[in-house]
A and B are shown apart, each in its own frame.
Chain A
Amino acid sequence: MAFGLKPLGRERIWLWGLLTPTLIGLVFGTIGSLLATLLLSFFEWDLIRPPKLIGFDNYVALFTNESYFRSFKNTIIFAAMYVPGVLVISLLVAVLMNRKIRGVSIFRTVYFLPAVTSAVATALVWNMIYGKDTGILNIFLESIGLNPVCWLCRDNAMLSVVIVNVWGAIGEGMIIFLAGLTAIPREYYEAATVDGANRAQQFFRITIPLITPSIFFQALISAINAFQAYDYIYMLTRRGQGDSTVPVAVFSIYRNAFNFFKMGVASAQAIQLAVLVAIFMGLLLIFERRFVVYE
């Protein structure tokens, strides 16, 4: 440990005594299942018969099997739309919520509400909005003379679920950005105003550079959420028995493991997803070194 107080004497016993339960959980629960997943990904295992070693076959299948590859691709497309969407919109909302408006706390609460509401319940409400024949959105479109759109059919479903997921994530992003915004000293803006900088200039020259740590942090969180996204997507796109119009990686992992008796493939998919997240994190860390300013 580079900083903080060092435990001395008896305290050391207490330290380890109190950490043990958590550590055991971590070692056997998290790290143990991680290693088991890695190991299983080289086996064929149907949960009942003993696992059979098959080398890299599962990994080859990830790219040759149409449905596995489709779910992987969907996750990447989803993340590519979701992460920038969350960053831009929640930053804009945070900037708005950072001004002296009457009843700002009510607005902040309203924006935060989706984050504390059950995803399954709100997804059902979104279903009523998106519905092709009876949905509110299409009724509105028709009332202004436009043609109804099948929001949750194959062609539009991805965009529709990204919108809902971004909507659900604005609240948390707003909190992170608000924390960053309130930490910027007012004097900077006052000085800029005196120098004749307009609002846009102030936003890009002062606000953005000074909240890069928040942007970085939020990008990290959003990316992890994007790769794990499941609940809204499944609730909005489920079709028939267990099918989804937009199958994402987590959905495919679950289905292979618990419906199709293919633990090995599911493990390989989980490792693939983990590697993807790791690569993304690596890129973000490089980005952090170059652009993030810590005061």
Chain B
Amino acid sequence: MKTRLLALLMVSAFVLSACGGAPAPAQTPSAQPSKEEPIQPTRAQPQAGQPVEITFMMWGAPEEQQVWQAVVDDFTKANPDIKVNVEVSDWDSYWAKLNTLVAGGTPPDVFAMDAPLYLDWQSRGALLNLQPYIDSNPGFLDNFFPQTLEAYKLPEGYFGLPRDFQTIVLFYNKDMFDAAGMAYPTADWTYDDLRAAAKALTKDTNGDGKIDQFGFWTDVWDMELFWSEAIWAYGGEIISADHTKTLIGEPNARKAWEFIDSLFKDGSIPAPATSGEYGDDLFQSKSAAMTTIGHWAVPGYVSAGFKFGVAPMPKGPSGRATSVNSAGFVLSAKGQHPDQSWKFVQFALSEAGQKRLAELGFAIPVLKDVANSDAYLKQPGDLDQQVFLDALEYSHMKPVFRGYEEWAAAVGDGLAPVFDGEAELGPTLDNVVTQADEILANNQ
């Protein structure tokens, strides 16, 4: 009998602990973390000799975990008293996980941030102001490309720092251009040249009466890959400087939308509803001759085994434009070890850390010295890496504002039926702008 009772106790204890969930957060509930609150770098001093553990969470491909592990190993060698746990998830799971951890009061110490979402997190008091640390390292930001810092800069200071950046350029499949006997895209191209080439390269290559090669493919849901560039090149704007008005329906921007719509009407780019039939990335699946995308796509294209090149974005009536966006580091406002977390960020943003990243081949380093060195410029293959760097000169920052994700969904969801050929551009755009402005008003 006694043993049975014991077994029962053990079983219920086990079940209870399984239901119990995470232990209560250890820290005292601090007052609403206001923007003015000075940070206390000595929040939880570790006992001497005891290594401190910090968690670094990011989104990315499994290969990226290996590279980051290498960065971390280098870091631990120099700082044996700090242990860094790297957690890498895919994009969707990353945000779901991060939201849950933050809501549960156990956020990771250091985590990756997509610049457009930065203000949504910063304005909610989730991020630590890094300015005191930057101030104590004079000259720390001098080597950064200023365009990459812009997104994180606030009157109170930096609550995040860029880790790598992405400019959008035109990729073209050399095999397809050669087969058609056409000249490769050049820096002199206009959007009309792009349209004509896309039309010429859209064809039925195996003679079964169906188009199987598209001239162009890109994602038109989010602004980053194509439509923001087109709007800027046509002289339009995305959003007003005070983030209260959506400007994508203004006359110049409307011309850009009409241009995009004409590509779909030409049939040179498959409709959003059908493009999935040709793969997730039609350029990589060799179904499209051209695309506009950033450096992160290069490893995938290399592995697909075809010859491709890059050219600057085409020129529009108002000149050339592209988008620059960055992934960054942020520290949790509620982290227990801000000093150690900063040390890690500082290391990852040092030349040694950035060189490792450049070797990875997914992104472009934010440090000028590293980007202009062989570590970045002399990557395997004959791709002209300089095109991505030169793009900074005519780049616009991908807008950063509160309510970004909901706003982007209203625009992306709203316009998709137009490109599917189920709705008229004009009235749909008007309707989308109204909805988008409503979202901006709710996020002031």
Contact A24 B435 (CB under 8 A): no
Known: A24-B19, A258-B95. A240 touches B416 (CB 8 A): yes
Using Cβ atoms and an 8 Å threshold, which residues of chain B touch A128?
277
Are A49 and B125 in contact, CB atoms less than 8 angstroms apart? yes
* Stretch with Cβ within 8 A of A (4 or more), from B67-75, B150-158, B258-266, B406-414: B406-414
Question: Shortest beta-carbon distance, B140 to chain A, in Å?
Answer: 28
Whole-angstrom CA separation of A20 from B32 in the bound complex: 38
Task: Please state if A152 and B273 are interface contacts (CB–CB under 8 Å).
Answer: yes
Is A291 interfacial (CB-CB < 8 Å)?
no
Q: A47-B102, A260-B405 are in contact. Are A240 and B12 (CB under 8 A)?
A: no
Q: With A29-B19, A132-B277, A239-B273 known to touch, is A20 a contact of B422 (CB < 8 Å)?
A: no
Closest CB-CB distance, B67 to chain A, in whole Å?
25
Q: Chain B residues near A242 (CB, 8 Å)? A: 92, 409
**Nearest neighbor of A29 in chain B, beta-carbon distance:** B19
Chain A residues contacting B211 (CB-CB under 8 Å) are 133
CA distance A49 to B29 in the complex (A): 12
Instruction: Chain A residues near B409: list those with CB within 8 A.
Output: 242-243, 255, 259-260
Q: Which of A11-43 contact B (CB under 8 A)?
A: 17-18, 20-21, 24-25, 28-29
Is residue A50 within 8 Å, beta carbon to beta carbon, of the partner chain? yes
- Contact between chains at A133 and B19 (CB < 8 Å): no
Chain A: CB-nearest residue to B410 = A67
Q: Which residues of A contact B406 (CB under 8 A)?
A: 259-260, 262
B14 to chain A, nearest CB (A): 9
Contacts of B435 in A (CB 8 A): 66-67
Query: Assuming A17-B12, A47-B103, is B274 touching A261 (CB within 8 A)?
Result: no
Bound-complex Cα distance A154 to B414 (A):
12
For chain B, what secondary structure do more than half of its interface residues adopt (helix, strand, loop), or is it mixed?
A: helix
| Residues on A with beta carbons closer than 8 Å to the beta carbon of B126 | 48
Contacts of B250 in A (CB 8 A): none
Q: Which residue of A lies closest to B422 (CB)?
A: A154
Cβ contact within 8 Å between B124 and A49 = yes
Interface set, chain B 51-103, CB cutoff 8 A to A? 92, 95-96, 99, 102-103
How far, in whole Å, are A154 and B421 apart by their CA atoms in the complex?
Answer: 10
CB distance from A23 to the nearest CB of B (A): 11
Query: How many residues of A sit at the interface, in one of the four size bands?
Result: 35 or more
Q: How would you classify the secondary structure of chain A's contact residues: helix, strand, loop or mixed?
A: loop
Q: Does A134 contact B (CB under 8 A)?
A: yes
Bound together, the chains give a CA A21 to CA B32 distance in angstroms of 37
Determine how close the nearest CB of chain A comes to the CB of B30; give it in whole angstroms: 12
* B13 nearest in chain A by CB position: A21
**Whole-angstrom distance between the Cβ of B282 and the nearest chain A Cβ:** 12
* Residues of chain A within 8 A of B32, CB atoms compared: 49-50
Q: Check if A225 is an interface residue, CB within 8 A of chain B.
A: no
- Contact in complex: B222, A240 (CB < 8 Å): yes
A contact residues around B219 at 8 Å (CB): 240
* Closest Cβ–Cβ distance, residue A21 to chain B (whole Å): 4
Instruction: Determine if B361 is an interface residue (Cβ-Cβ < 8 Å).
Output: no
Chain A residue contacts of B342, Cβ below 8 A: none
Chain B proximity mask over A125-160: 1 for CB below 8 Å, otherwise 0:
001100111110000000000000010111100000
User: Can you spell out 6 A-B residue pairs with CB atoms less than 8 angstroms apart?
Assistant: A21-B19, A47-B102, A67-B435, A131-B276, A134-B210, A255-B409
A interface residues, Cβ below 8 angstroms from B: 17-18, 20-21, 24-25, 28-29, 46-50, 66-67, 127-128, 131-135, 150, 152-155, 239-243, 245, 255, 258-262
Instruction: List 5 tightest A-B contacts by C-beta distance, closest first.
Output: A240-B221, A21-B15, A47-B103, A48-B124, A131-B277
13 additional A-B residue pairs with CB within 8 Å, beyond A21-B16, A240-B221? A17-B8, A17-B12, A21-B15, A24-B19, A47-B99, A48-B126, A67-B410, A133-B277, A153-B273, A154-B417, A239-B273, A239-B413, A240-B416
